[in-house]
């Protein structure tokens, strides 16, 4: 049984050869890469919403080299502890699926029988994600209109993606876990020193959200030694700095052949009330 629901009538979707179908007669073709498009036209704010092809490729290539493995290991360990024998999981804003696939594979390797879905508004991201892991269902969809049933998810993961709290509360079951990944205070500090004249640390704080209670905040701090210009530029393209950096700062970064940066993440773990 699919975790997805019809975006038009909210009826359960059944995955068949080449398409997802609902009892109401709606049908959604499965792309050759393996993902499905569940984003109605009235939820699109542009012709090609979300990350473009170049951003997706940069993130895919960078993450595939393991620079953020420490964060993935932290997520794997905690989600394993939070999951039962047959958990239902959602990675909302999954991007190109590196974390999604890593979590799914860890659960399967531990002998569990996970059902996992990943959603993102970028079709370019979903193409890469669906190629990466065939055991996960992937759909183009908005985090603010998730095509999943009420209370259908045991664990919801959100890594650096829009915080659609109303929808997250809706799809999580009572007692379900919500893991929200944000940058730590000094994440990529050395890169920021090159890009900006007066960089400042990221704010770190506890933020309570209605309908959830805090379980813990997990740190994941390390370093990444980037040995090529390509890796440095791929990391740059992954960050918000790519869009709001002065030209001189971007040129300073482009001249570097090597860069060692601090990586710092905070995983805020909540329980759905």
Predicted confidence (pLDDT) per residue in 197-216, tens digit: 999 999 999 999 999 999 99
**Residue 1 counted as domain residue:** no
Q: Quick: pLDDT tens for 25-38.
A: 999 999 999 999 99
| Average pLDDT over the chain, rounded to an integer | 95
**Residue 9 counted as domain residue:** no
**Residue 6 counted as domain residue:** no
Q: What is the reported pLDDT for 51?
A: 85
**Residue 5 counted as domain residue:** no
Domain count, the chain: 1
Q: What is the reported pLDDT for 250?
A: 96
pLDDT tier at 46 (50, 70, 90 boundaries)? low
**Residue 8 counted as domain residue:** no
The fraction of the chain above a pLDDT of 90, given in percent, is 93
Q: What is the reported pLDDT for 41?
A: 80
CB-count exposure of residue 246 (10 Å: 0-12, 13-18, 19+): exposed
Phi, psi (degrees; rounded to nearest 5) at 89: -130, 150
- Decide: 87 and 112 in contact? Cβ < 8 Å: yes
Residue whose tokens read 């664990």 = 155
Q: For the chain, report the end-to-end CA distance as a whole number of angstroms.
A: 26
Which residue range(s) make up the domain with 242? 14-43+50-272
Does residue 152 surpass a pLDDT of 70? yes
Tokens of 41: 């036209």
Q: Which residues contact 65 (CB under 8 A, 6 or more apart)?
A: 231
Q: What is the reported pLDDT for 120?
A: 96
Q: What is the reported pLDDT for 29?
A: 97
**Residue 178 counted as domain residue:** yes
For residue 223, the domain's CATH number is 3.40.50.150
Task: Tell me what the mean pLDDT of segment 48-64 comes to.
Answer: 88
**Residue 219 counted as domain residue:** yes
Q: What is the reported pLDDT for 49?
A: 60
Q: What is the reported pLDDT for 47?
A: 53
Does residue 48 surpass a pLDDT of 90? no
Q: What is the reported pLDDT for 133?
A: 98
Task: Tell me what the mean pLDDT of segment 82-89 comes to.
Answer: 98
Among 47, 65, 59, 43, smallest CA distance to 95 is for 59
**Residue 190 counted as domain residue:** yes
- Decide: 158 and 93 in contact? Cβ < 8 Å: yes
CA angle 213, 216, 218 (to 5 degrees): 145
The fraction of the chain above a pLDDT of 70, given in percent, is 97
């Amino acid at each position: 049984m699919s975790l997805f629901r019809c975006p038009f009538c909210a009826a359960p979707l059944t995955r068949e050869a080449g398409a997802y179908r609902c009892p109401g007669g709606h049908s959604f073709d499965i792309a050759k890469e393996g993902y499905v498009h569940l984003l109605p036209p009235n939820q699109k704010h542009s012709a090609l919403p979300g990350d473009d092809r170049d951003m997706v490729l940069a993130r895919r290539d960078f993450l595939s080299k393991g620079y953020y493995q420490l964060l993935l290991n932290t997520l794997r360990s905690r989600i394993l502890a939070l999951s039962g024998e047959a958990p239902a999981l959602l990675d909302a804003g999954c991007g190109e699926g590196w974390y999604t696939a890593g979590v799914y594979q860890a659960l399967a390797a531990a002998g569990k029988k996970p059902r996992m879905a990943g959603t993102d508004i970028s079709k370019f991201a979903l193409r890469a994600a669906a190629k990466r892991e065939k055991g996960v269902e992937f759909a183009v969809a908005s985090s603010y209109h998730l095509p999943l049933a009420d209370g259908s998810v045991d664990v919801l993961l959100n890594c650096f993606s829009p915080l659609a709290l109303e929808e997250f509360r809706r799809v999580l079951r009572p007692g379900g876990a919500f893991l929200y990944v944000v940058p730590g205070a000094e994440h990529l500090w050395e890169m920021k020193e090159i890009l900006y004249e007066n960089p400042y640390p990221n704010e770190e704080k506890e933020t309570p959200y209605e309908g959830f209670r805090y379980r813990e905040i997990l740190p994941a701090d390390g370093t990444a030694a980037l040995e090529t210009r390509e890796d440095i530029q791929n990391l740059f393209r992954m960050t918000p700095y790519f869009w709001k950096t002065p030209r001189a700062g971007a040129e300073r970064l482009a001249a570097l052949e090597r860069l060692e940066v601090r990586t710092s993440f905070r995983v805020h773990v909540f329980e759905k009330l």
